[in-house]
Amino acid sequence: MSSKLIAPSILAADFANLQRDIEMINDSEADWFHIDIMDGVFVPNISFGMPVLKAITTHTIKPVDVHLMIVDPDRYIKTFANLGADNLTVHYEACPHLHRTIQAIKAEGMKAGVALNPHTPIALLEDIIQNIDLICLMSVNPGFGGQSFIENTYSKVNQLKKMINKNGATTKIEIDGGVTNKNAKQLIEAGADILVAGSYVFKSKNQTETIKDLKALANS
Ligand code: DX5
Ligand code: ZN
């Protein structure tokens, strides 16, 4: 059984053919749908909101991994649960009461994720690691697809993996931004569990094959 997961990011899909692209992922070897919600405040871009997410989750047959790049995410936790999110990831930098936010996500029956911007130190999670189901390490500055991978991510994955093991936690490590076949293997070797890939999947000629190859690489 494969244990490393691939989560294509819908941000890079063809929004005029969203159902087609969702069905491609349903039929592929991908494990999760990664859905980026941006508010134009926390990040300098706006992606899409609730009605589009609702349309997406009508067609998905795999877990839906929602990445919130928004300020004050606590306001919408119940809404995202009702819209069909399985994982809800909030940004460390957007949550002054992170412990409370994580409890609220779990109380709605979702897995709780915390994302870190590239400049945010891993050590800030030491006192809360036991409570977090998923840590999303941003390997680009959040807000846009198609950016270049930041190399310092490998060392952050290493540090985070050590922290997880030291604390006996079961937290999974997700990498988001600039993931391709060039860095996938090294990320997994450093300790990553889930690879998000947007442009690399959707800009490729044969998307199903690209997902299959990335999955094989991650589990080789
Ligand atoms: C960036 C988003 C990512 C993005 C990744 O802010 O969080 O999920 O879609 O896209 P690529 O794989 O193109 O870097
Ligand atoms: Zn994302």
Residue 91 gets which letter from DSSP? E
Confirm or deny that 168 is annotated as ligand binding.
Answer: no
Phi (first) and psi of residue 86, to 5 degrees: -95, -40
pLDDT number for residue 96:
98
> Residue whose CA is closest, atom 9 of ligand 1?
145
pLDDT number for residue 218:
98
Using 50 as the pLDDT threshold, list the residues of the chain that sit under it.
1
pLDDT number for residue 1:
45
Quote the crossing angle between the two packed helices 207-218 and 18-27, to the nearest 10°: 40
| Separation of CA 166 and ligand 1 centre (Å) | 30
Domain that holds residue 82: 5-218
- pTM for the predicted model, two decimal places: 0.98
Burial 39-60 (b: 16+ CB within 10 A, else e): beebbeeebbeeeebeebbeeb
Nearest bound ligand to CA 143? 1
pLDDT number for residue 2:
52
Give residue ranges with CB within 6 A of ligand 1: 9, 11-12, 34, 36, 67, 140, 142-147, 176-179, 196-200
Which DSSP string corresponds to 41-85? SSSS-B---HHHHHHHHHH--S-EEEEEE-S-GGGGHHHHHHTT-
Quote the crossing angle between the two packed helices 18-27 and 50-59, to the nearest 10°: 40
| Separation of CA 138 and ligand 1 centre (Å) | 9
Instruction: Count up the domains in the chain and report the number.
Output: 1
Residues marked as catalytic: 36, 176
- Domain CATH code at residue 15: 3.20.20.70
Confirm or deny that 193 is annotated as ligand binding.
Answer: no
| Separation of CA 48 and ligand 1 centre (Å) | 14
